Amino acid sequence: MTISIDWGNTNIIEIQRSDMLEIESNLYELNVDDFRKSLRSLEQSEEGISFPKTHIHNTEASVAGVTYARLVQIINPYSVRFEDGQYSVRLSGANNNIFDVTGGTLVRNQVQVISNNSAGLISLSSTLSEEDLSKIAQKVWNEVL
């Protein structure tokens, strides 16, 4: 892979179209596991060693005979940008946040990024205060009169 990182400046991880597997015309696939390995190699390079790591990786986990997918999460201050063009990229091999435009991970251009994340069970976090939660409980509580 010829992935490059603009270390210490924009911190954009640049992915070339040629680095991905062409599935069909204008549809490419990025193996996220290979991608994160490339990032590890870049991190430990002479140039990259002085900068913070690019991502968090949680490997696959087997629970009761089911293998849960690995997770790759690009972290601040890094972001990902695909080589600009009118094509689509399908992310495979790991749940990830590469497609996350809102969170600032993906630098948006003409490329359409297709996430294949699988979330069988998700955890929610709340920004409600204890007071809010108490008020809600009062409203929905099936009180015995």
Partner 1 sequence: MATYANSGGALLCLGDDISSADIFSNLNSLGIGSNHYQDTTGTKDVYVFNAHIIIGSVASSGSASAWDCSDQIIKINDNDFQIYGTVQQGNINDGTSESGGAFVVSSAGSNDFRLYENGIFRCYGSMVYANQRIRVDTDSEFTLVDCDAELEDGVSPGESNTAYGDRQAFNFTRTRVHNTGAVGIKLYTFSTGSNAATFVLDGVKVEDCTFGFQTGSGTNLAPVIKDAKIDSCTNHIVPNLGSGSDVTFINPDFTELRAALSASSDVTRICFRYSLNITDSSLSPVENAKVIIVDGNSEEQVNDLTNSLGQISTLPTFDSETVLFNSTYSGTSRTDRATSTRSIATYLYNFRQDTFDVVSDFEDNVALILDSLISNSSKSSVDSYSSIDNSFEFYDRAKSYFLDNYSIGDELLVSREGNTINAGSYNVVIDSLASSVFSFDGSTITILSSEFGGSITTSGSITFLNGASSTGTISDFSGVSVNFSINITDSSDNSNVSDANLYVFANSGGNLPQGSEIINATTDSSGNYSERLNLTPDQPCFIRVRSSSSSGGIFYKSSLSQSTITSQGLTLQVSLDRDE
Query: What's the length of the chain?
Result: 145
45 binds partner 1 (CB under 8 A): yes
Q: Per-residue x/- marks for partner 1, 59-78, CB under 8 A? A: x-------------------
Measured CA to CA, the distance from residue 139 to residue 46 in angstroms comes to 59
Which range, of 14-22, 32-40, 95-103, 128-136, touches partner 1 by CB under 8 A?
Answer: 32-40
37 binds partner 1 (CB under 8 A): yes
Which range, of 12-20, 33-41, 106-114, 133-141, touches partner 1 by CB under 8 A?
Answer: 33-41
Q: Of 41, 12, 15, 29, which Cα lies nearest the Cα of 90?
A: 29
DSSP letter at 43?
Answer: H
Torsion 26-29-30-34 (CA) sign = negative
What type of residue sits at position 8? G
The nearest distance, CB 70 to partner 1, in angstroms, is 9
The nearest distance, CB 63 to partner 1, in angstroms, is 17
> What CA–CA distances, in Å, run from 132 to 97, 101, 135, 139?
30, 30, 5, 11
Which of 26, 53, 75, 84 touches partner 1 (CB under 8 A)?
53
Site residues for partner 1 per CB under 8 A:
37-38, 40-41, 43-46, 49-50, 53, 57, 59
